[in-house]
Chains A and B, each alone.
Chain A
Amino acid sequence: TQLLEQSPQFLSIQEGENLTVYCNSSSVFSSLQWYRQEPGEGPVLLVTVVTGGEVKKLKRLTFQFGDARKDSSLHITAAQPGDTGLYLCAVNNAGGTSYGKLTFGQGTILTVHP
């Protein structure tokens, strides 16, 4: 079983629609990160959430860390074709490591059609 379960796996929407992507776990984390990855490129860090209940906004993207620090969501308002990509959540220190090895979810592939 995956440490981080992301849903949905695939999302295909029209430009202007809103969407939410979820990242769930039964484990508690000290922090959680969201990355976006375009085809043929490496993941790019979008945000790190640290505090339970924390909400962070990045333009049209809103990130929330669950109160119990077990889950997170990413909400995109008025999606644009440029938002197309693979959205990954990741946690560090899984397994008690002290140096920040990242464990990723399987990702959500988002396609925004013009």
Chain B
Amino acid sequence: DTGVSQNPRHKITKRGQNVTFRCDPISEHNRLYWYRQTLGQGPEFLTYFQNEAQLEKSRLLSDRFSAERPKGSFSTLEIQRTEQGDSAMYLCASSLEGRETYEQYFGPGTRLTVT
């Protein structure tokens, strides 16, 4: 399967702990996106990478959030000092530069529960 993969699929953590999620995009895709989705809502944009460069961060991404894509392949999203309000589904998507319609392919997501 050459789709977008995310690990772990589920994470339960206590408030104040740090968590890290991983995303492996479709291999030839150079654009990678992170979104957050709360129950019953559409995904909201968090951040975007083109190759290894992080080119935009949403105001939703507080200082406790950091994302990396060190070699322009997989990406990690870390949340430090988690809060209950961080509980959500974290989605990763990838796309190929040059496609005019910017079709994005999503991974299955990581469901975070902060207790």
Where the two chains meet, the residues of A that have a C-beta atom closer than 8 Å to any C-beta of B are: 31, 33, 35, 40-45, 48, 50, 86, 88, 90, 92-93, 97, 99-107, 109
Across-interface contacts of B7 in A (CB, < 8 A): none
Across-interface contacts of B35 in A (CB, < 8 A): 102
Q: How far is the CA of A105 from the CA of B43 in the complex (A)?
A: 8
Q: Within the complex, which residue of A40, A44, A86, A101 is in contact with B33, where a contact is CB–CB below 8 Å?
A: A101
Question: How many residues of B sit at the interface, in one of the four size bands?
Answer: 20 to 34
Q: How far is the CA of A101 from the CA of B31 in the complex (A)?
A: 10
28 A–B contacts from the bound complex (CB under 8 Å) = A31-B101, A33-B101, A35-B106, A40-B108, A41-B108, A42-B4, A42-B91, A42-B106, A42-B109, A45-B103, A45-B105, A48-B103, A92-B102, A93-B102, A97-B56, A99-B97, A99-B102, A100-B104, A101-B48, A102-B43, A102-B93, A102-B102, A103-B45, A104-B42, A104-B43, A104-B44, A105-B42, A107-B40
Q: How far is the CA of A97 from the CA of B109 in the complex (A)?
A: 24
Contact A99 B31 (CB under 8 A): yes
Across-interface contacts of A99 in B (CB, < 8 A): 31, 48, 50, 55-56, 97, 102
Q: How far is the CA of A67 from the CA of B103 in the complex (A)?
A: 22
Apart from A33-B101, A42-B93, A42-B107: 15 A-B pairs, beta carbons within 8 A: A40-B111, A43-B91, A45-B103, A88-B42, A92-B102, A93-B102, A99-B31, A99-B55, A99-B97, A101-B48, A102-B43, A104-B44, A107-B40, A107-B41, A107-B42
Across-interface contacts of B75 in A (CB, < 8 A): none
Nearest CB of A to B104, in Å: 6
Q: How far is the CA of A91 from the CA of B6 in the complex (A)?
A: 24
Across-interface contacts of A101 in B (CB, < 8 A): 33, 45, 48, 56
Asked if B95 is at the interface (CB within 8 A of a chain A CB), the reply is yes
Nearest residue, chain A, Cβ from B3:
A42
Across-interface contacts of B50 in A (CB, < 8 A): 99
Residue among B45, B55, B56 having the largest count of chain A Cβ atoms under 10 Å: B45
Across-interface contacts of A35 in B (CB, < 8 A): 106
Q: How far is the CA of A106 from the CA of B43 in the complex (A)?
A: 8
Q: How far is the CA of A8 from the CA of B6 in the complex (A)?
A: 31
